[in-house]
Amino acid sequence: MSYKNFTLDVDADGIALITWDMPEKSMNVFNESVIDELGEIVGKVASDATIKGAVITSGKETFSGGADLTMMRRMLDLFEAEKAKDGQKAVQFLFDNVGRMTGLFRKLETSGKPWVSAINGTCMGGAFEMSLACHGRVAADSEKVKMGLPEVKVGIFPGAGGTQRVPRLAQPQESLQMLTSGQSLTPQKAKAMGLIHEIAEPAKLVEAAKAMIRNGLKPVQPWDEKGFKLPGGPIYAAAGANLWPPAIAILRRETYGNYPAASAILKCVYEGLLVPFDTGLRIEQRYFTEILQTKEAAAMIRSLFVSLQELNKGARRPAGVPDTKFKKVGVLGAGFMGAGIAYVTAKAGIPVVLLDRDQESADKGKAHSDTLISEQVKKGRAKAEEKEKLLSLITPTADYAMLDGCDLVIEAVFEDSEVKKVATEKAEAVLKSSAIFASNTSTIPITGLAKNSSRPKNFIGLHFFSPVDRMMLVEIILGKKTGDKALAVAIDYVRAIKKTPIVVNDTRGFYVNRCVLRYMAEAFQMLIEGVPAPMIENAARMAGMPVGPLALTDETAIDLAQKIMKQTIKDLGDKAVDKDQFALINTLVDKHDRRGRKNGKGFYDYPAKPAKKKLWPGLKDLYKQQDPDKVEIDELKQRFLATIALEAARVMEEGIVTDPREADVGSILAFGFAPYTGGALSYIDGIGAKAFVKIAKGLQKKFGGQFKAPKLLIDMADKGETFYERFDPYARQEAKEAA
């Protein structure tokens, strides 16, 4: 019998080698057809007396990324359609469907024949759950091999037996940490935890798996044998009493109750370990059905999986422009930002010319790459030869003639229009006419900078975030005259360096900085109102933000905030900046010389390591303090999320961002907007436009005009629309393709 996604070959010893290799897919995933075929294969292996056991491996470089979450989206769409007719029947439909993989894996491990998973590359989610259902697990000894159950990162949890098998194989504390964090495991770590049995040389992986079967691998899982004991002892043992209360407290501290899936994991493990294995699977299936119905799961799956993948694949790339194969990229300015851009470019295997005003400055910029890659080598994340190759791709220079032959030049010089003008003119003098020139600016409109160019259609903005090597987002800014080729090349480059591109039309602050400045401004306003600084920072983190707004201002520099305010007043007048907030920033910088982390004192004090930063005690002396017991913490949380979401809505109204996927993904990747909401626009959609406008009006009445809802939102509230309905990116794509 032939299969679409698998091949099955039986050797002379009667061992079946099942190779998973989905056609026209770069990575194997579990979809409806794979589940059906694997079920047939499990049945064949079980019923064929000539087959003694089975090894399953991948025909691709990676093993599998797990379940296809677009399949889950389709299932949820069917659920919603059914729910409109019969709610109880809809939930039963969902419960039955989420149990398909659970049933398949249980069928595999109770088939009476030994199964071994030969893990040759990345093995995540459902694929790792399948491997855990196999009686033996062998992983290749390679840096390419990573295993894990990362579902919690997209708002769900391992719902195909992961919460039941992991804690029956590994120690409970390690199990909970792995499941609730979604961490990846190396083969060595997985073996130490007891999640795999062997590590083999990549070339001998399948042979090692077959040897397990030849050597008499038992076709029974430990939990199916009489007398099975949990690795950490019973739940009600002394060790369990010491584990569970702190585990619940730690999860609460880390998530503030914002992630229902993380809480469900604890419940699944705790309740599941109290009962027989099959009952534990049913408990997991019930919780999984419940979590799938949450708005957090729907929003996170959409933004952090579906939309993120679509953007990474170039959803906004203009059609009809040939792909760019970069032979050489130039970076103007070897400061911290330019040096970081050079590093990620070279890491992608692209030769890069790093240019600065003199050779010493350029060499210093290259040294930054040396430091970064050396740290990776020291931590075992890169090899010495990789360091050598990366550094060989960076050519530091002070000679503009070296830019000859570049496909793309990225200007990252000092944030001054005149300096940028000189750099643009000197670079274009040696560039080929087809080359693209990009400016990495965070404050100066691209259309204005493009006036310095002799070919504005080839001029575009590339806004990186600091530190470049760690931040995964790049804003691509279109000037009024930017052409399709420039956009296509910019997207190709961002994808080549393995970052996520979002496309933004030109405006002051573009998209991300407009939202971030609102976040910071709301914190300044709270300080002025006398809200204690610790409450401000804690409320922001409780709302789901990874970094408090005062700490974030310190990181970006308080004197930079002062410069932005001064420039805004210069360009737009005194009323463009809140005078009280301007006075606060001036007091910190001019009176107290508190400029942020860079000079060791800002909103926080930064003592020498290992001491941790602490909020500056002097903050409470700047304004009369409110009684903390009378400050509504939920209101503070709401203010932070609402002020950012309102700015995102204004950006959509102005046509600065036109695709809600980009607004959502950008808000999460750039500054960590509460991921459980799915992003700034999904936050509004999740509440509903009508309810959100009502919240905004209440906040506006109490705290000021920053909470005024734009006309777009009021119109959406009246019509009962969501952003994904009003700005449906798929409808636009279909219309474009039809044309």
Catalytic residue numbers read 442, 463, 475, 513
Specify the residue for token string 């090894």: 55
DSSP 132-188: HHSSEEEEESSTT--EE-GGGGGT---TTTHHHHHHHHS-HHHHHHHHHHT-EE-HH
CA 663/CA 677 separation, integer angstroms: 13
In contact, 332 and 439? CB cutoff 8 Å: no
Q: Name the residue among 376, 453, 454, 447 with its Cα closest to residue 421.
A: 453
- Those residues whose C-beta lies under 8 Å from the C-beta of residue 515, and which sit 6 or more positions away, are 644, 647, 648, 651, 667, 670, 671, 673, 680
Tell me the C-alpha distance between 113 and 285, whole Å: 26
Q: Which residues of 48-84 are buried (b: 16+ CB within 10 A; e: fewer)?
A: eeebbbbbbbbebebbbbbbbbebbeebbeebeebbe
- Residue 625: helix, strand or coil by DSSP? coil
* Residue 477: Cβ within 10 Å count: 27
Dig out the tokens for 524 from the structure.
């300044």
Amino acid (1-letter code) at residue 89: K
**Residue in the structure block whose two tokens are 């993989």:** 101
What CA–CA distance (Å, rounded) separates 182 from 88?
32
DSSP 8-class letter at 471: -
The Cα 95–Cα 98 span in angstroms is 5
Of 690, 710, 686, 689, which is closest to residue 700 (Cα–Cα)?
Answer: 710
Structure token pair of residue 282: 């049913």
**Helices assigned H by DSSP within 557-657:** 558-572, 579-586, 619-622, 633-653
Query: Is the Cβ–Cβ distance between 9 and 17 less than 8 Å?
Result: yes
Amino acid (one-letter) located at 669: L
Helix, strand and coil content of the chain, in percent to the nearest 5, comes to: 55, 10, 35
Tokens of 729: 């990116």
